[in-house]
Chains A and B, each alone.
Chain A
Amino acid sequence: MNFKDLLKNEYIILDGAMGTMLQQSGLKLGEIPETLNIVNPEAVIDIHRKYIDAGSEIICSNTFGANSYKLKNSPYSTGEIIRAGIANAKKAAGEKALVALDIGPIGQLIEPAGAMSFDEAYEYFREEVLAGEDADVIFFETFTDLLELKAGVLAAKENSDKPIVASMTFEQNGRTFAGVSVASAALTLEGLGVDAVGVNCSLGPDELMPIIKEFTTWTQLPVFVKPNAGLPDPNSNTYNVSAEDFAESMDKIIDFGTVKLVGGCCGTTPDYITALKAVTKNRVYKKAEYNKDTAVCSGTTVVEISEPRIIGERINPTGKKLFKDALKNNDIDYILSQAISQVNAGANILDVNVGLPEIDEKEMMTRVIKAIQAVVDVPLQIDTTKPDVLEAALRVYNGKPIVNSVNGEEKSLSAVLPLVKKYGASVVGLTLDENGIPKTAEGRFEIAKKIVDRARGYGINPKDVYIDCLTLTVSAEQEGCRETLNALQRVKNELGCKTCLGVSNISFGLPNRPLVNHIFLTMALEKGLDLPIINPNDEDMIGAVRAFKVLSNIDRNSIDYIAAYNEAKPEKPVITSNRVTLGEAIRSGLQSEAAQITENLLTKTDAMSIVNGELIPALDKVGADFEADKIFLPQLIQSANVAQACFDVIKAHLTKNNETPVSKGKIILATVKGDIHDIGKNIVKVLLDNYGYTVVDLGRDVAPELIVKTAIEQNIRVIGLSALMTTTLGSMEETIKLVKSTPELKDCKFLVGGAVLTKEYAEAIGADYYCKDAKESVDAAKKIFSSQ
């Protein structure tokens, strides 16, 4: 018997709780339950036997927490405990049941909530998978972070050929602790090619019902359900649902359809399994109806492509000088602000393209994907021409993304489609091939058909292929526009595919481009365009989509349309007189006024005298007020934000006139290795920026080696470090040591700060300036750069 054979049965009975049983057999407080596999194997085998006697067809090894993070203080290794755990389960099972290698979360949160990287998580899981080679199947259970579970599933698929069952644990609001929705879990895990998906732990069967029902509508895979025996008492940790009531509720759950593997989690015992076995006896498996459209998701948000959805195109360096500069300077915050503003403007999905010849695209792409997913919820479209960049991005992406793109060329099909399949993505198919873009709709349709057929051949659902019939510039090829639209319509009607289209190329070379773009978009929507790729900050474009949805009876009762336009727009401030000076605007936090005053000043004064004569003195005054306790920290920062808006105006002015903004010096900022508190460091960054220093922000949890590398590569000799915890002060010391022992960097100056740091400690570890707050770091920077 193997798992695939077992799946042919109507229902499969799993086991109940291991922890509950071990506690009953006298596990001591603080004792690691998995070590019993070695010190008291008989107790563990006895529990397995009881479950098998009760009717369990698959039992889980006692290895839930057996990973090298949780076992770091244990006398036994992960390998020893897992091998013993599988051997115990095998001994109990004999030929009567299959043995699952049970794998739980690592026990520390993955980025961005925690400090564990995707690769670290993968390594922990890989070790477990390899040690569990004698198991019949791998169960991932009780996960709350979808990205951590993805690391586990990939580790299992890449290091074994065993069937995989993956389950998450949801709260009553239908989300995990990490905010993962039921639909995101189902879509992502099915895409990754697991054999069954489901829900375990957290709640009793009654509370889980709506969650399981939702789950069964989002997957075609067999669903796995292991509820707790009700809800726990917070103090005693005992559960409140009896075996009979448990089985009765599970009876209703099985009735939803698609649920195939059933068992119990915390608080359940062999009695519960006996009762469950009785409920499934002689019952014929049924599947719930599945009628979802194609969808993509992040860990938290699903976007069904059942109506036009907007893909934001702004994260792309093509033709954008500021964006290129941001990429070259590692200014991730600039890219994030582009992401947030597009989402606020109404984008449903964001395209992410960071291809620039002079940067390491792979490293930048994974960094940007992680950083964007840490601040916005919408799904992403990974836009790159390089398969290695694509795969790296697909690994760390949390959810089901869109791949942009594949085309009809053999080289592209065979490089991209296997990756789309492996990582369970959707893909944009461009209707071009070795011979370029066919002139006619017929030619483009044929390529679309080829792409869909090839995708199907790789096991990709044709619904997940979104065809782009390609927009050509109408001023160059006027007949092309019709061909694009006709191809789009045929693809939509005859292949049943969703379509996407970049719109703004159409008007290149014409005056009043927005008008042409906006009409073309409307024409394409009418032909059936599902995914317009546009600039969502362009109100006419996004307005066209909104109005289209009203007129096509998609936005029922015009709810979204009214919500978007009914709210009174904040009036643009108009400075009627010169009553407010730049200094006053900065001190009072009046951002748009200050920006406008700056623009006015630029018409009569040169940029540097505004900076040195107005902005810096105003900031100094605010800084002095802060030191004297006249204002508090948010006011200081608000003033800094206002100054930032003025600097942005000045920068844009200089860039327009092909002048380079003058930098007062370059500084690296980082929160040290192991520390994830970065708010203090970010405050410092805002102030240093405003005083005209160029800050290279390496983020949080930064390895000393990266600081050394960056300092050498970018020729920077001033480094600011932050540490918030007594436990991470050691990292600060190590960083300073490593930098100072590097011959090229022995003259580096350090400014340091953080809640637990003292002046004495800062001196002892070799820092040059101890800064008690952000204001002092500006003072330190002034001193350092004026002496150079």
Chain B
Amino acid sequence: MIELRSIDRDETLRFLGNSKVKMNSETDRLLNICEKELLSAARPKFLYKTIDINEAGIIQGESIKAHLKNCNKAVLLCATLGSETDRLIRTAQVTDMAKAVVLDAMASSAVEKVCDEVESLIREEHPDEFLTWRFSPGYGDYPISLQGEFLRILDAPRRIGLCTNENSILTPTKSVTAVIGVSKTPIESKRKGCASCSLKSTCKFRKAGTRCEF
């Protein structure tokens, strides 16, 4: 069980594409309301499973292979905030679009936070090994079309209600899948960086002159 107690404001502002603007009291109030509503709607859930790298067809493409260099195992993980969060954002889109936009950004930041916590659980389980950072389908040339297969291996549709549609979009939408490599030797320090990111040409963080810290 992971419980969200708060949502990172700075991260939310970064997802909104601008962390430098001055807030007025009206937007500050909006952020407070959104945080309260999101914390009560979110039902964080996650699953993970350790696999042998050679065993599964889920590791495809040069990027993920480079990411898992020298790793013998990989942990597949997925996390979701659940469908209630989608509903909250959907309703806000009818009543108050500004609220919807803030909720959307907050939920993106919240699901990343859930992943951070899952990752630290995984790290605790591997005290003597070396773990890579999280690499998701859609990064580099790691095919996003593998989402369905990825979730099937984790039995995610049945166990946490996380599915994909025919275009490999995760539903509920505030969800993440990722791979963490496990190695017996230290991981060569490869900062993630924009160069290895498939979104680099369109990234809204880059457009705003910041980074997502990938």
- A interface with B by C-beta (< 8 Å): 29-30, 69, 104-105, 107-109, 112-116, 142, 144, 169, 176-179, 201, 232, 234-235, 237, 333, 336-337, 340, 374-376, 588-590, 629-635, 637-638, 640-641, 674-679, 682-683, 686, 725-728, 731, 755-758, 772
Contacts and interface: CB of A to CB of B under 8 A. Distances in A.
Given A29-B56, A114-B171, A108 B158 contact: no
A772 B207 contact: yes
Given A108-B165, A629-B21, A675-B167, A637 B83 contact: no
A683 B204 contact: no
A615 B51 CA distance: 59
B161 interface: yes
Nearest to A337: B94
Interface stretch (B63-71, B97-105, B182-190): B97-105
Contacts of A683: 97, 101
B145 interface: yes
Nearest to B162: A177
Contact of B158 (A142, A336, A630, A634): A142
Given A632-B13, A633-B17, A758-B202, A177 B47 contact: no
B49 interface: yes
B26 A109 contact: no
Interface of B: 13, 16-18, 20-21, 24, 26-27, 30, 46-51, 55-58, 82-84, 86-87, 89-91, 93-102, 104, 125, 138, 144-145, 148-149, 152-153, 155, 157-161, 163-169, 171-173, 198-199, 201-202, 204, 207-208
6 contacts: A104-B158, A109-B171, A234-B47, A376-B91, A674-B166, A755-B199
Contact of B104 (A104, A176, A234, A679): A679
Given A638-B26, A638-B27, A726-B138, A109 B98 contact: no
A588 B168 contact: no
10 nearest CB pairs, A to B: A177-B161, A637-B98, A674-B167, A727-B167, A589-B26, A114-B171, A632-B18, A634-B98, A115-B165, A638-B98
A337 B145 CA distance: 37
Contacts of A727: 144-145, 167-169
A567 B83 CA distance: 31
B171 A634 contact: no
Contacts of B100: 679, 682
A374 B90 contact: yes
* B46, B90, B168, B169 pick with most chain A CB within 10 angstroms: B169
Given A641-B96, A682-B100, A109 B158 contact: no
* B30, B56, B166, B208 pick with most chain A CB within 10 angstroms: B166
A30 B58 contact: yes
Contacts of B199: 755-756
B48 A177 contact: no
A112 B164 CA distance: 14
Contact of B165 (A29, A676, A682): A676
Given A632-B16, A637-B97, A755-B202, A679 B87 contact: no
Contact of A108 (B27, B160, B163): B163
* B51, B83, B98 pick with most chain A CB within 10 angstroms: B98
A629 B167 CA distance: 34
A596 B208 CA distance: 36
Contacts of A178: 83, 161
Contacts of A726: 138, 144, 198
B139 to A, nearest CB: 11
A630 B163 CA distance: 39
B178 to A, nearest CB: 15
A108 B97 contact: no
Contacts of A686: 97
A629 B20 contact: yes
Contact of B55 (A29, A176, A177, A725): A29
Contacts of B98: 634-635, 637-638, 641
A52 to B, nearest CB: 25
A757 B202 contact: yes
Nearest to A727: B167
Nearest to A332: B94
B49 A235 contact: yes
A675 B169 contact: yes
A30 B101 contact: no
A22 to B, nearest CB: 13
Contacts of A641: 96-98
Given A108-B164, A674-B165, A588 B17 contact: no
A679 B89 contact: yes
Given A30-B149, A678-B93, A113 B171 contact: yes
A374 B160 contact: no
* A142, A201, A728, A757 pick with most chain B CB within 10 angstroms: A728
A107 B157 contact: yes
Given A755-B204, A756-B199, A179 B84 contact: yes
Contact of B30 (A201, A340, A638): A638
Contacts of B57: 30
Contacts of A337: 94-95
Contact of B16 (A201, A630, A633, A728): A633
A133 B165 CA distance: 29
A682 B138 CA distance: 25
Contacts of B95: 337, 340
A27 B19 CA distance: 50
Contacts of A675: 167, 169
Contacts of B18: 629, 632-633
* A169, A235, A633, A755 pick with most chain B CB within 10 angstroms: A633
A772 B90 CA distance: 23
Contact of B153 (A30, A589, A632): A30
Contact of B169 (A69, A235, A631, A725): A725
Contacts of A114: 163, 165, 171
Given A634-B101, A678-B93, 6 more contacts: A105-B158, A108-B166, A115-B171, A177-B82, A179-B87, A633-B101
Contacts of B157: 105, 107
A676 B173 contact: yes
A104 B30 CA distance: 42
Contacts of A676: 165, 169, 171, 173
Contacts of B167: 115, 674-675, 725, 727-728, 731
Contacts of B97: 637, 640-641, 682-683, 686
Contacts of A104: 158
* A232, A631, A731 pick with most chain B CB within 10 angstroms: A631
A758 B204 CA distance: 11
Contact of A177 (B13, B87, B160, B204): B160
A153 to B, nearest CB: 19
A579 B135 CA distance: 55
Contacts of B27: 589, 632, 634-635, 638
Nearest to B157: A107
A75 to B, nearest CB: 15
Contacts of B125: 235
Contact of B21 (A105, A632, A640): A632
A590 B26 CA distance: 9
Nearest to B155: A237
A340 B94 contact: yes
Contacts of A108: 163-166, 171
A142 B102 CA distance: 34
B22 to A, nearest CB: 8
A682 B17 contact: no
Given A30-B149, A115-B166, A727-B168, A375 B91 contact: yes
Given A337-B95, A727-B167, A630 B21 contact: yes
Nearest to A639: B98
Given A30-B57, A144-B161, A235-B50, A679 B93 contact: yes
Contacts of B155: 237
B90 A375 contact: yes
Contacts of B91: 340, 375-376
* A376, A634, A726 pick with most chain B CB within 10 angstroms: A634
